[in-house]
Amino acid sequence: MNKKELEQRLISFSSSVLREVQKLKKDPARNHLSGQIIRSSTAVALNYGEAQSAESKRDFIHKSGIVLKELRETYINLSLIKDLEENPESLKALSNLLQENNELIAIFHKTVQTARQNAGIDS
C-alpha cells in the first residue's frame, strides 16, 4: 500500500466513524463518547498528513506514534460505544469499524517499529 492509498484509507475510516456517530442515540454517555471519538478518529488522518511532512526521521516517528496513539484511543471508544449499542445494524457497522481500526493499528505499529529500526533508535 502506498502513502496515498494509506491516506485515503485513513480518511475513509474517519468519515465512516463520523457517519456512525451521527446515528447514535443521544444520551449523556453516548454524547461524551461521541465527542471523544470524533476527536480521536479525525486525528488519525490529520496526523498522518503531518507525518508525511515530517522534518526529520525522528519527527516522522513521533508523528506516526501520535497516529498510533489516536487509533488506540479510537478503538477503546468504539468498543465502549459498541457495548452500549442495541441496534443490530449499528452493531455490525461498529464491528466492521473495529476490525478496520485493528488493521490500521497493526500497520502503524509496524510503521513506527520499522522507522525506529531504520533510524537506529532503541524502543
Residue 22 lies in a domain: yes
Task: Tell me the three-class secondary structure of the chain, residue by residue.
Answer: CCHHHHHHHHHHHHHHHHHHHHCCCCCHHHHHHHHHHHHHHHHHHHHHHHHHCCCCHHHHHHHHHHHHHHHHHHHHHHHHHHHHCCCHHHHHHHHHHHHHHHHHHHHHHHHHHHHHHHHCCCC
Position 53 in a domain = yes
Residue pLDDT, tens place only, 21-58: 999 999 999 999 999 999 999 999 999 999 999 999 99
Flag whether 13 is in a domain.
Answer: yes
pLDDT for 50-98, tens place per residue? 999 999 999 999 999 999 999 999 999 999 999 999 999 999 999 999 9
- Mean pLDDT, rounded, for 110-115: 94
Number of domains observed in the structure of the chain: 1
Provide the grid cell at 53. Answer: 511532512
Q: Is residue 123 part of a domain?
A: no
Give this prediction's pTM. Answer: 0.93
Task: Give the range of the structural domain holding residue 109, as residue numbers without chain letter.
Answer: 3-117
Is residue 68 a part of any domain in this protein? yes
- Domain CATH number, residue 40: 1.20.1440.60
Say if residue 123's pLDDT is above 70.
no
* Residue 122: per-residue pLDDT: 73
Q: What is the pLDDT of residue 26?
A: 92
Gap between the Cα atoms of 72 and 80, Å rounded: 13
Contact assessment for residue 2 and residue 75, using Cβ atoms and an 8 Å cutoff: no
Would you state the pLDDT for residue 58? 94
Sign of CA dihedral 65, 70, 71, 73: positive
Q: Does 112 reside within a domain? A: yes
